[in-house]
Amino acid sequence: MKTLIITGGAGFIGSHVVRLFVNKYPDYQIINLDALTYAGNLANLSDIENCPNYRFIKADITNAEAINKIFSENTIDGVIHLAAESHVDRSITDPLSFINTNIIGTVNLLNAAKDAWKGCNFEGKRFYHISTDEVYGSLGDEGFFYETTPYDPKSPYSASKASSDHLVRAYLNTYGLPTIVSNCSNNYGPNQFPEKLIPLFINNIKTKKPLPVYGKGDNIRDWLFVVDHARAIDLIFHQGEIGETYNIGGDNEWTNLDLILKLCEIMDKKLNRASGESKNLITYVKDRAGHDKRYAIDFSKLNAALGWKPSLNFEEGLELTVDWYLNNVDWMENVISGEYEKYYTKQYVNR
């Protein structure tokens, strides 16, 4: 029996990772460790919350004492660390929260794992840190991010993630903590908080609100369906080499404007609107400060080493995503109204 901590399991990507592990590994105990910030929503996991191999612990990774206590009260075999402040725009208005959670919080977890595991000389243990392609900076029209690309983060968010990546590698080099890092491109899919481009625009198209395109809409992102990211995390956690870094990407570059036009086209059809109606909602707004121009990931190392590649093409993935948001009106309404924050209280306090 293995006991794993997945941090940030109530968030967007974390909830898909928790679901995959709980369903695929009935012999593992999966502890979802999450502070339930505005981005954490236990309703994302309502389908697995009663599984015997699943447990939720509400804890803040910036609280070293609380994290150490969890490690001393449980025999933890592995950590998959996703908890983070994740939205670039919020990092521009409130950088300190990103420093606290993404850097200090990561160090607290590293310390807790190092101290708990040194007695067994780290035998059979694994600390897997989930990071982003944004640490590599911004690309021009050509080229890709490789695992060897020098770090050049340009927003408080990416600088805090770069810092945490460096610390994770420093703990391997200095203390021998068995760590792995992966850096992934933009994820999309069900359960993403509607501050991020795709769910925000799906909801705005549905409710006929303006679609705020930053700058000219010519920035480029490489999009990956979230379940494909979760599959990569499963593979890397189990079969990745300690000390290695793996890039994960979608091989799927889109300018923001082309993506938005595609989304409008799909939604016009699904909502039985006249073709071209939703694109009239597009509104060009002031650009994001320091807006990275282009991200593009080369994931050939992961493909060659572990055989991973994306399973869905973008049109299929977008349709599936649009269908999910249109069929889960309650999820979106609860998130927008703030009602979702009561889910924890309802599920865990009043029963």
Q: Which of residues 254-293 bind ligand NAD (CB under 6 A)?
A: none
Of the candidate spans 85-93, 274-282, 310-318, 326-334, the one that interacts with ligand DAU by CB under 6 A turns out to be 85-93
Q: Are strands 245-248 and 179-184 parallel, antiparallel or unpaired?
A: parallel
Considering only residues 19, 125, 129, 221, which one is a binding residue for ligand DAU as defined by CB under 6 A? 221
Interaction between residue 132 and ligand DAU (CB under 6 A): yes
The label of the residue with tokens 């979702």 reads 340
Instruction: From 236, 12, 37, select the one nearest 129 (Cα to Cα).
Output: 236
Stretch that binds ligand DAU, among 92-100, 117-125, 195-203, 336-344 (CB under 6 A): 195-203
Q: Which C-beta is closer to ligand NAD: that of 105 or that of 278?
A: 105
Has 134 been annotated as catalytic?
A: yes
| Residue selected from 79, 80, 159, 184 as contacting ligand NAD according to rule CB under 6 A | 184
Please tell me whether residue 86 binds ligand DAU under the rule CB under 6 A.
yes
Q: Which does 253 bind (CB under 5 to 8 A by kind): ligand DAU, ligand NAD, none?
A: none
Q: How far is the CB of 112 from ligand DAU (least distance, A)?
A: 24
Least distance in angstroms from the C-beta of 133 to ligand NAD: 7
State the minimum distance, in angstroms, from the CB of residue 220 to ligand DAU: 8
Using rule CB under 6 A, residue 61 touches ligand NAD:
yes
Encoded one letter per residue, x for contact with ligand NAD by CB under 6 A and - for no contact, window 83-112 reads xxxx--------------x---x-------
Q: Which stretch binds ligand NAD (CB under 6 A): 88-96, 112-120, 185-193, 288-296?
A: 185-193
3-class DSSP string for the chain: CEEEEEECCCCHHHHHHHHHHHHHCCCEEEEEEECCCCCCCHHHHCCCCCCCCEEEEECCCCCHHHHHHHHHHCCCCEEEECCCCCCHHHHHHCHHHHHHHHHHHHHHHHHHHHHHHHHHCCCCCEEEEEEEHHHHCCCCCCCCECCCCCCCCCCHHHHHHHHHHHHHHHHHHHHCCCEEEEEECEEECCCCCCCCHHHHHHHHHHCCCCEEEECCCCCEEEEEEHHHHHHHHHHHHHHCCCCCEEEECCCCEEEHHHHHHHHHHHHHHHCCCCCCCHHHHEEEECCCCCCCCECCECCHHHHHHHCCCCCCCHHHHHHHHHHHHHHCHHHHHHHHHCHHHHHHHHHHHCC
34 is catalytic: no
If binding is defined by CB under 6 A, does position 219 make contact with ligand DAU? yes
Q: Which stretch binds ligand DAU (CB under 6 A): 138-146, 209-217, 314-322, 323-331?
A: 209-217
Which residue is catalytic, options 34, 60, 134, 228? 134
Least gap, CB of 132 to ligand DAU (angstroms): 3
Tokens linked to 136: 């590599």
Q: Of the residues 54, 128, 136, 157, which is catalytic?
A: 157
Which residue numbers are catalytic? Answer: 133-134, 157
List of residues contacting ligand NAD (CB under 6 A): 7-8, 10-14, 34-37, 39-40, 60-62, 82-86, 101, 105, 130, 132, 161, 184, 186-187, 193
